[in-house]
Amino acid sequence: MLAGKPSWLARSWRPLAVAAAAVALAMPVTAASASTSGRGSAPATRSPAARTALKHVSYRGYSFFVPGSWHVVDLRKAGRACVRFDRHVIYLGNPSVNQSCPSLLIGTTESLLIQPAPAKARPSAVENEVARQITVTIPRIKVTATFDFNPSQIFRILASASLPAPVIKTPHPAAAGQAAARPITRARRAGAATPAKAATPALSLQVANYHGLGFDACTAPSAAYMKAWRAHSPYRAIGVYIGGADRACAQPNLTAAWLKREAAAGWHFLPLYVGPQAEFGELSAPAKQGRAVASDAVMQAERLGFGPRTPIYYDMESFAPSQTGKALRFLSAWTTRLHTLGYSSGVYSSSSSGVAVLSQQYSGKKYAMPDVIYDALWNGKQNTSDSVFKPGQWANHQRVHQFQGNVVQSFGGDTINIDKDFLNVNLPMPGGTPQASPAVIQPNGVIDVFYRGSGSKLWYVRFSPGSGWAAPRQLASSAASAPSVVNRGPGLVDVFYQGPGGHLWQIARRSGGHWSKPIELAKMGVIGGAPSAVAQGNGIIDIFWKGSADTSLWQGEFNPATGWTGPHRVGGNLGSNPSPVEATPGTLQVFWKGQGTKGNLWSVTRHLGGTWSKPKSLGMGQLGGAPQATASSSGATQVFWPGAGANTQLWYASLTPGQGWKGPNHLGGSLAGGPTPVTSASGQIRVFFRGQDGHLWQVRGTPASGWHGPVRQSVGTIGGVPFVAVGAGQAAVGVFWKSGSGDSQLWSASLKGTSWTKPRAVGSNVA
């Protein structure tokens, strides 16, 4: 809680003598009784605890004095007992991985869970005053304690066993630290890269997007239960309680590893946070509390691996009309703070209270509205309709409907008490660059193009709908390679290239259009050629290069919350620059031509939540140049390359999920350079290349529907390998090439359907 706690508790409390603690425990203590009301209904009446005698509880060598009226539950003998923090109970042991908990529990009071810990556990004692939770770890035991408004009674119980005093820590999510702004400085220069352990990437926003049936439960089920329900139930999404002061159930299964494993299995998630409730009278400073719980929610989301822009749903149960103003101020602050920290906002509430009042304020400017509404209306209908919604409100795939609650169901022999949900959530990915390119196109049609000019200078030119092409601008004076560019979100563009010293360099544009100075990413060491970068929609960048001291594939990764990690040696033996592609959110594949006379197609893969596979030869015969990959949103991947020797045709191989690789197949043509593929929002693939006749050629189609071409395009001769502007879900294709007339200008034309815009020069002095 943010209010109601005496300030002296945060500063001067120390372990009390056992006798003093016993006396204190015997004194009357104000403590709220548990709320066990159904979801969306009024909470139970709160009443102070009566004066009570003490009893002695021992566990793994520690002795506690607790009120005599408290229940003591030995979890070793309790089977699937639910560890619930809405009752005065002291639990001993580890909770079952398959607790039998009612779905409707909400609210906490003074309660303790005492679990085994290693004999040499490092002592720590922390109070999260926002989540109203105290965690103490010492040799042999770990204590998790909850409290209502005042932790005094918990302090006394801990002191009775001579446990250390908790230190209050204010929630501080990594996103608030702006780690993204911290460059790797010149002082950290390293001539040779030292491999680092590859960090597990955050879960993509896509794990929260889903259309269909889901469920939520008070505690996350075990892996075995999830597997059984995946195989036998109609559900493919699950609501999980990631934190909050009124989260009533223990969560032994809910870890980052559990989430990544279940995401890889195909589950989608509704991250729920249940903090102070309007109906419980807990909103004493609504705006301040709303900001604080949003910070704590993001911290918990980051800890569990949910990436930026993921919606976090605040569980605001049904409240009386007299609490409307406080609830609106609280939820508005929640939404605003989540947006500041880079996450999307969701709100769960009753159709007749929270959802209704948000709908009434939807078009106003006074309160910030959530991105997704989670509507508790138990009418049994598997849709997202509700008469309280006016036309246009949360209408663009922004609704979840909880249509039935407190239902016991069994699938595969495994039983869970659940609430049933129907999801229609598809939040857009505002950023993302699924394949490497020197140019990116944003959802609003803005195109950012970068090229290496004469004198090894790095140049930039920008197209804006309505105003056309701006004059070229020099960004750096020394670039040893072509650039690779990613778009992480609206206005967020990152450019990478091999620069002075052979190191990886970066130039970044942030919101407002301001470019950084060139930043040396010296930690990555000397790279062996042009880098290739891709970005997920959650802002995570993966960048790849061929080693300088070896021919291995190397990788660096940028997370908006934690900054850069790497370099990581992925392995392999590269005979070309790498070509990375994001097939589905969180799943990356990297392709290259192998070393030696065989020159086969090689690849590595990292699935969502997983680690890199070992390098694998895909065969496909000898490649005549570097392969180039593209992928559709379905996960289908296509790789193209020029034939070897006198065979200069366009060749390709295709991967369809569940069917494996097919190829090699040839598409004809006569290439004078490498191909450049791109996939449109409709799944149409276009492949551009410079023909032996010096003209721009195109092949279009898909392996499933067939191919059209090659067809020579009527844009004149070109002087080098063409490239395209890449963006997530793009419709039109911007194509760029060096002039074939010897004037070294950069030319461009846009292709939509089968129609080209008139080619025009947009830059000069192309290297």
Distance of alpha carbon 117 from the chain centroid = 31
Q: How far is CA 211 from CA 241, 285, 354, 386, 436, in A?
A: 20, 37, 23, 17, 30
**CA distance linking residue 401 with residue 421, whole number of Å:** 5
Label residues 14-29 b or e (16+ Cβ within 10 Å = b).
ebbeeeebbebbbeeb
Over residues 248-307, the pLDDT tens digits come to 999 999 999 999 999 989 999 999 999 999 999 999 999 999 999 999 999 999 999 998
Q: Which amino acid is at 123?
A: P
Q: Which residues share a beta bridge with 751?
A: 733, 756
Residue with tokens 């039109």: 732
User: What per-residue confidence (pLDDT) applies to 728?
Assistant: 65
**Beta-carbon count within 10 A of 754 CB:** 9
User: What per-residue confidence (pLDDT) applies to 610?
Assistant: 79
User: What per-residue confidence (pLDDT) applies to 23?
Assistant: 37
Torsion of CA 425, 430, 431, 437, to 10 degrees: 110
Over residues 98-155, the pLDDT tens digits come to 999 999 999 999 999 999 999 999 999 999 999 999 999 999 999 999 999 889 999 9
User: Residue 66: which of 88, 48, 82, 49 has the closest Cα?
Assistant: 88
Give the H or E element holding residue 557: strand 553-559
User: What per-residue confidence (pLDDT) applies to 428?
Assistant: 79
User: What per-residue confidence (pLDDT) applies to 331?
Assistant: 98
**CA distance linking residue 693 with residue 384, whole number of Å:** 57
Q: Which amino acid is at 549?
A: A
User: Residue 150: which of 76, 82, 226, 49 has the closest Cα?
Assistant: 49
User: What per-residue confidence (pLDDT) applies to 430?
Assistant: 67
Q: Which residues share a beta bridge with 423?
A: 212, 400
Give the H or E element holding residue 19: helix 18-26
3-state secondary structure of 85: coil
666-672, long-range: CB within 8 Å, 24+ apart, which pairs? Answer: 667/699, 667/707, 667/709, 667/710, 668/699, 668/709, 668/710, 669/697, 669/699, 669/709, 669/710, 671/624, 671/642, 671/643, 672/648
Ordered by where they begin, the domains of the chain are: 7-168 (no CATH), 205-425 (3.20.20.80), 439-763 (2.120.10.70)
Label residues 158-185 b or e (16+ Cβ within 10 Å = b).
bbbbebebbebeebebbbbeeebeebbe
User: Residue 214: which of 426, 424, 429 has the closest Cα?
Assistant: 424
Give the H or E element holding residue 264: helix 256-264
**CA distance linking residue 175 with residue 343, whole number of Å:** 9
User: What per-residue confidence (pLDDT) applies to 366?
Assistant: 95
The DSSP bridge pattern shows strands 695-702 and 685-690 to be antiparallel
**CA distance linking residue 497 with residue 485, whole number of Å:** 9
User: Residue 12: which of 155, 201, 128, 136 has the closest Cα?
Assistant: 155
3-state secondary structure of 368: coil
Residues of the chain with pLDDT under 50: 1-51, 178-192
User: What per-residue confidence (pLDDT) applies to 702?
Assistant: 87
